[in-house]
Structure 1
Amino acid sequence: MNLTLIAQYATDIIALLMLLGLLTKENLLNLHSKRFFKYSIFLTIIIIIAELGSLAVDNQGSSLKPLNQMFNIVGFSLTPLIPLMLIELFSQNVLKKHKFVFIPSILNAIAVLLSPWFGWIYKINIDNQYERGSLFIIFVVVYIINILVLSHIVWLSGRKRFFPIKWKILGLSLFTIVGTCIQLILPEVISSWHVVTLALFLLFILLSVFENSFDALTGLFNRLAFEKATSTLSYKKPYTIILIDINHFKKTNDEHGHDTGDLALKEIAEVIKNSISYELNGYRIGGDEFSLILETRDEIIISDYLNTIKCGLDERRKNNKMLPTISIGYSIHNGKKSLSFQDVYREADKHMYEDKKEQKKDIKH
């Protein structure tokens, strides 16, 4: 067997073991995402070992034919499951709720298990030599279907939580499809598992950087993410900055304790998250300050969002009388005047404090 090929596969396995170590120490991903990411890595390592084993015993005498069969069964059965495991990184419990997504993989596994007799997915001839089976296309189609299902889930979840990196993850999916298809089209080019190993590493880096953009308490994007987002805003395009400030937050902390204050922050953040769509991102930019960025100047749309937030808080206040009120201000950049972001932000801040003063007047009266 080619020593260069062994070295390449060994490098992939070592890299994946290193990734497993990084993932174990990493605290940014939640436990559920970590678990399924680990499943993907373990599956990849097992499949690489199986492919390496198959290459090692292939054409090495009929006595090793059962071993060759076993290695091919493991590789062809498990490969389509990797994209399915990765789905859980983007939308938890999808596999549990929608078990039908396993149907193509199950059909593929059945075809693989029957291949030693019927030669559907692969054939091992009397000389213990591997060949592609008459229905090898089933394996290819199932694998691509599962990657497309993963891409679809990324697209859907990207409309909310993963919106900022949606296209990067979809690009990574395309890279994986193209990279693995090279070996499917040209069997002599051993590229699939190098591509998958690289893709898993890139996905880990992408998710780690992304998860570092969130505020730990509220789950909204943090100040750093806000600054990155605002740095990309163009004065040539319309956008709206909405600022939200919690009224009497210091008083809430002083009189009822910081646990009550933290709970208020979480509840208000939850209302904001439930109110926003893929067009809008929510940020915690200070202790009791939040911001929303909306890529529109349509006042009807803006008003709808603000009313949704206010109604959501009113509803929660029925069950939590200590939940503070909020003050809101916004500023619209119409994309025509060459205003800086700071100008737009200052105007929103001014309107927010005007709202705060108006609420104080209403309380006095």
Structure 2
Amino acid sequence: MNNKNVLCYTFCIILGMVIIMKLMFLEALQAYYAPVVLLLFFSIILVTDQLLTRQEKNLFLMELGVVGLMLFSTWVDRCVSPITTGEWWRLRFLTSAMQFAAAPLSPLVLLWIYRRNQLVRMGWLQCLPAIVNALLSLGSFWTGQVLWVAPGNIYSRGPLFLLPFFSSAFYVAFILYTASRQETPGRRLETIFLLCAGIAIAGACALEIVFVIRYMIWSTTAVMLLTYFLLITILKVLFDSHTGIYSRLAYTKRLESIGNGQSVTLAMIDMNGLKAINDSYGHEAGDQAIISVSQALLSIPVQGKKLYRYGGDEFIIVVGRWCREELEDELKLIASNCGKVNAITLSFAYGVIEYRDGDLHKATEEMDRYMYNNKMKMKAAQKGSDGKKDA
């Protein structure tokens, strides 16, 4: 589909939507025009996106479908709620029950998006609260446990009216529990965003329930969904997808932000023996070795440090102050033993410099030279140790 067809398609849908909604209900048009257009353009961006995996796209499309369904059902519910004659109360009963049944699906899919790299480990037992809520909500046609709409469009709450909210809260708590176990910088930013989004949506729920202000929850959710997509897209650029630490592009941007007179400490780290691990045990073991070294470097207790993946087995640490001795001492503690993969002890060489003024690229070359000299010393020491063992 070329750009011209996409624009024509978008214009026709928006025009048709405007005509239909204006004929039915002006208030709903004013409330939902912006979020519906937002979801429409979001769907186009999502389909054409090249950064997300197929699984991530499918999860976002699923969430988009849930939000779209809820926007439509609340809109229809608002349109028919003033009509007290005929059988319109049945349609309101249907749309209201649908809203209650589908409400926990949104935080459930958000949980799947957040744990997109761990879906294989997640059992279907976690779907149980959503399934129970859906059955009881739709069963209200006969039991009235969650809600009831009587002839004349008389709406009343059932004894389990808060069940969808508790089910949704369960999944929000699950997200926060998962978030508390994340250690990489990118995942922490994602966690902070989801926490803020949860507060915003909870505020919208409170406004609807306590003050009976309509159209708040799902309009807010639509905005949060697009913002979450944009955040993940940015994180994929600024963070290395394999290790979760900052990417080389982020390091380049960090160098550009360093002004004259600013004191920084730079360290280049190069893994030892990665090729041997790949050749002996395969690239999966090599990938695990890279992750192990990055986790060891992240654990260094140097305040204000940022860790970047510079190349395949190279890392760079940037600290926004002079602390060469402190950083060298910490690196020295773990350089010869920073984890194991298939009984192979992982190690790395490093070079540390302090920088204030001058050419940053020359400073990087100097740091690389220090690291290379350190690697040669480690190899010489290893050969000497092997020679003593043979003797």
**TM-score, length-normalised on structure 2?**
0.70
User: C-alpha distance in 2, partners of 1:305/1:54?
Assistant: 63
**Displacement of 1:75 after TM fit?**
1.2
User: C-alpha distance in 1, partners of 2:306/2:52?
Assistant: 20
Query: Counterpart in 1 of 2:351?
Result: 329
**Displacement of 1:212 after TM fit?**
0.9
- % identity of equivalent residues: 20
Decide whether aligned partners of structure 1 residues 100 and 126 sit closer, same or farther in structure 2, where only a CA change above 3 A counts. Answer: same
User: C-alpha distance in 1, partners of 2:241/2:363?
Assistant: 28
- Check if 1:29 corresponds to 2:57: no
Unpaired runs of 5+ residues, structure 2, are 1-23, 259-263, 385-391
User: C-alpha distance in 2, partners of 1:37/1:177?
Assistant: 21
Query: Over the residues paired in the alignment, what is the CA RMSD in angstroms?
Result: 4.2
Decide whether aligned partners of structure 1 residues 124 and 30 sit closer, same or farther in structure 2, where only a CA change above 3 A counts. Answer: same
User: C-alpha distance in 1, partners of 2:381/2:183?
Assistant: 41
User: C-alpha distance in 2, partners of 1:118/1:62?
Assistant: 22
User: C-alpha distance in 2, partners of 1:287/1:96?
Assistant: 28
**1:229-277 deviation digits (Å, cap 9, x = unpaired):** 68999xxxxx98542236799xx8xxx9xxxxx9998565344345455
Paired letter, 1:147: V
Alignment partner of 1:36: what SS? Answer: helix
Range with bigger deviation, 29-38 or 78-87: 29-38
Alignment partner of 1:244: what SS? Answer: strand
User: C-alpha distance in 2, partners of 1:228/1:46?
Assistant: 41
Paired letter, 1:357: M
- Check if 1:56 corresponds to 2:79: yes
User: C-alpha distance in 2, partners of 1:189/1:284?
Assistant: 48
Decide whether aligned partners of structure 1 residues 291 and 27 sit closer, same or farther in structure 2, where only a CA change above 3 A counts. Answer: same
Q: How many matched pairs?
A: 342
Task: Give runs of aligned pairs for residues 184-203 of structure 1, distance below 5 A.
Answer: 184-203=209-228
Q: Is the Cα–Cα contact under 8 Å of residues 246 and 327 in structure 1 kept in the other structure?
A: yes
**Displacement of 1:185 after TM fit?**
1.9
Paired letter, 1:55: R
User: C-alpha distance in 2, partners of 1:132/1:186?
Assistant: 16
User: C-alpha distance in 2, partners of 1:215/1:282?
Assistant: 11
Query: Counterpart in 2 of 1:131?
Result: 156
- Check if 1:113 corresponds to 2:154: no
Task: Give runs of aligned pairs for residues 60-75 of structure 1, distance below 5 A.
Answer: 60=83, 61-75=85-99
User: C-alpha distance in 2, partners of 1:32/1:305?
Assistant: 37
Q: Is the Cα–Cα contact under 8 Å of residues 186 and 244 in structure 2 kept in the other structure?
A: no
Unpaired runs of 5+ residues, structure 1, are 234-238, 257-261, 319-324
Range with bigger deviation, 142-151 or 187-196: 142-151
Residue of 365, 368, 374 corresponding to 1:355: 374
User: C-alpha distance in 1, partners of 2:239/2:372?
Assistant: 26
Q: Could you say which structure has the greater relative contact order, defined with CA pairs below 8 angstroms and 6 or more residues apart?
A: 1
Residue of 124, 141, 152 corresponding to 2:166: 141
Q: Is the Cα–Cα contact under 8 Å of residues 223 and 285 in structure 1 kept in the other structure?
A: yes
Task: Give runs of aligned pairs for residues 33-48 of structure 1, distance below 5 A.
Answer: 33-48=56-71
Decide whether aligned partners of structure 1 residues 196 and 164 sit closer, same or farther in structure 2, where only a CA change above 3 A counts. Answer: closer
**1:303-351 deviation digits (Å, cap 9, x = unpaired):** 5654453x43684699xxxxxx8522357x9xxxx97997998996565
User: C-alpha distance in 1, partners of 2:37/2:189?
Assistant: 31
**Displacement of 1:34 after TM fit?**
1.8
**1:269-300 deviation digits (Å, cap 9, x = unpaired):** 34434545577864222576322468995888
Query: Counterpart in 2 of 1:177?
Result: 202
Paired letter, 1:31: R
User: C-alpha distance in 1, partners of 2:293/2:131?
Assistant: 41
Query: Counterpart in 2 of 1:12?
Result: 35
**TM-score, length-normalised on structure 1?**
0.74
Decide whether aligned partners of structure 1 residues 227 and 96 sit closer, same or farther in structure 2, where only a CA change above 3 A counts. Answer: same
**Displacement of 1:177 after TM fit?**
1.9
**1:190-227 deviation digits (Å, cap 9, x = unpaired):** 21111011111111111111111134787753123235
Q: Is the Cα–Cα contact under 8 Å of residues 218 and 265 in structure 1 kept in the other structure?
A: no
Decide whether aligned partners of structure 1 residues 269 and 247 sit closer, same or farther in structure 2, where only a CA change above 3 A counts. Answer: closer
Paired letter, 2:237: N
User: C-alpha distance in 1, partners of 2:125/2:310?
Assistant: 42
**Displacement of 1:135 after TM fit?**
2.6
Paired letter, 1:67: L
Decide whether aligned partners of structure 1 residues 211 and 12 sit closer, same or farther in structure 2, where only a CA change above 3 A counts. Answer: same
Q: Is the Cα–Cα contact under 8 Å of residues 160 and 277 in structure 1 kept in the other structure?
A: no
Query: Counterpart in 2 of 1:103?
Result: 128
